[in-house]
Amino acid sequence: MVITDYDRFLSKRSKARKPSAIRALQPLIALPGMISLGGGLPHPSTFPILDMSFTLTNGDSLTISENEMRRALQYSNTNGLPDLIEWLKQLQIEEHKPKYDFDICIGNGSQDVLSKAFEMLLNENDSILIEKPAYTGALAFLRPMGLTFVDIETDGNGIIPEKLEEALENWDDSKPRPKCIYTVPIAGNPTGVSVSLERKKRVYELAQKYDFIILEDDPYYYLQFSERIPSYFSMDVDGRVLRFDSFSKILSSGIRIGWVSGPKPLVNRIVLHTQAANLHASGLSQTFALSILRRWGVFGFMEHAKKTAAFYKQKRDIFIESAEKYLDGLAEWNTPTAGMFIWLKLLGIDDSETLIKKKAIEKKVLMVPGFEFFPNNDVTPYVRASYSTATKEEIDEALKRLASLLRDAIASQN
């Protein structure tokens, strides 16, 4: 059923948000004939930067003109530069083919708009459905909110719909039901696994049945090594999916450009939060990204994403080759079909924390112990490894050192 009233999903704080009187003027400034004496915009002649030129890795030279630079350096619309918004809408339409008129808000990275979505939906003492394990960046924001984490088990194919259904079927109705689920469905961080289309369809059916919002955090979507699995956003007929995308893994992590797509009433609440927080994402970063995207077009962007995915596929293969050489019989893992992470289960170890946080560091190997990713702080033998930046030789040496540490740890227990 199409959602027409989102009031039941909103937190008390979000409901209390009102438009910023000054921010509300921003879209009106560019209207023909408008004389602005309202906003406190600094005069562009005082900005010391005139224009900018840069070179892409393929040798193409791009220039941000004086007029474009003037706009980039000035305050702009809260939801993002209009031209970039339009480009992103076209990308979403071509890739996901959404089934309703959606809206977009650009943030300083996708975690910016994701954290605002959490704040929009959740009150203290609420429950949130969340994968087990889950992304630590999201947990770092959620933990101080005083929530109950209803963690849903995952396996080598991602979230298990039957476990989700079990949690909802057996819900204690003396407590408010969860209003949302948080999920990283492709190349999950930390597990590296991706949720199949069949499982996604089942999760969406459960969202319809039990009336919750799906927060689809999908920064690794374009790093799938074969045909891309359709998104929750693409199957949403009710307006119950908020999708979070990022340029961090495709263009640059430092430009801090991410965006949320979804139902206009929900995206508008995120815009209101931004009005009262950081005003808007960096105009310079947006202009920088837009100049590249205009040169490429959607097709060129897809070609670049394909090359980037192929790069990480090669890195994955290098890691797996070294893992099979050194960790056979010492660890278990699922081979990722996307992204940059592998989730290792250390055999003969009940708790990976000391081994990874102390002994591995002493041997000059950095990984992340698995307990960091569990919403309810489970003791676990798992550890997250990333193959994104290390060389073939470094990966080989790191796993050789890990294997030695594991043998020593197992021997010390006997």
* pLDDT tens-digit map of 311-365: 999 999 999 999 999 999 999 999 999 999 999 999 999 999 999 999 999 999 9
For residue 368, give every residue at least 6 positions away whose Cβ sits within 8 Å of its Cβ, in sequence order, or none.
Answer: 136, 190, 356, 383, 384
Q: Which range, of 31-40, 140-149, 254-263, 372-381, averages the lowest pLDDT?
A: 31-40
Q: Which of 48, 72, 27 is closest to 291 using CA atoms?
A: 72
Residue 11 has pLDDT above 80, yes or no: yes
| pLDDT surpassing 90 at residue 28 | no
| CATH 3.30.499.10, domain 305-412, yes or no | no
Is it the case that residue 61 has pLDDT exceeding 90?
yes
Per-residue pLDDT, 47: 92
User: What's the rounded mean pLDDT across residues 89-97?
Assistant: 98
Q: How far is Cα 411 from Cα 91, in angstroms, rounded to an integer? A: 54
Q: pLDDT by residue (tens digit) across 111-157?
A: 999 999 999 999 999 999 999 999 999 999 999 999 999 999 999 99
pLDDT of residue 31: 84
pLDDT of residue 41: 84
How far is the C-alpha of 338 from the C-alpha of 327, rounded, in Å? 21
Q: Any idea what DSSP says for residue 170?
A: T
Report the distance separating Cα 43 and Cα 70, nearest Å: 10
SS3 166: helix
What's the average model confidence in pLDDT over 175-198? 97
The 10 Å Cβ neighbour count of residue 363 is: 13
Residue 22 clears pLDDT 90, i.e. is over it: no
Which spans in 196-333 are helix H?
197-210, 232-235, 264-276, 283-326
Phi first, then psi: what are they for 158, rounded to 5°? 90, -155
Q: The tokens of 359 are what?
A: 């002994």
Q: How much is the pLDDT for 252? A: 96
* Predicted local distance difference test score (pLDDT) of residue 412: 84
pLDDT tens for residues 292-308? 999 999 999 999 999 99
Question: What pLDDT is stored for residue 26 in this prediction?
Answer: 76
117 neighbors 142 (Cβ within 8 angstroms): no
pTM: 0.95
Of 3.30.360.10, 1.20.1260.10, 3.40.50.261, 3.40.640.10, the CATH number of 63-297 is 3.40.640.10
Percent of the chain clearing pLDDT 90 (strictly above): 91
The pLDDT tens digits for 209-257 are 999 999 999 999 999 999 999 999 999 999 999 999 999 999 999 999 9
* Mean predicted lDDT score pLDDT of the chain: 95
Q: How far apart are the first and last CA of the chain?
A: 59
d(CA 341, CA 34): 52
The pLDDT of residue 377 is 87
Q: Would strands 180-183 and 331-332 be described as parallel, antiparallel, or unpaired?
A: unpaired
The residue type found at 285 is S
- Antiparallel, parallel or unpaired: β 331-332 and 341-346: antiparallel
Whole-angstrom distance, CA of residue 275 vs CA of residue 277:
6
What is the predicted pLDDT for the residue at 411?
86
DSSP state of 330: T
Please give the structure tokens belonging to residue 324: 């099979």
Which tokens is 241 given? 């999916």
DSSP 346-396: ETT-S--HHIIIIIHHHTT---EEGGGG-TT----SEEEEE-SSS-HHHHH
- What was the pLDDT predicted at 30? 77
- What is the pLDDT, as a whole number, of residue 38? 73
Write out the two tokens for 235: 């199957």
Q: Are 371 and 379 in contact (CB under 8 A)?
A: yes
Q: What is the pLDDT of residue 311?
A: 98
What are the residue boundaries of the structural domains of the chain, listed by start? 63-297, 305-412
Model confidence band, residue 29 (pLDDT cutoffs 50, 70, 90): confident
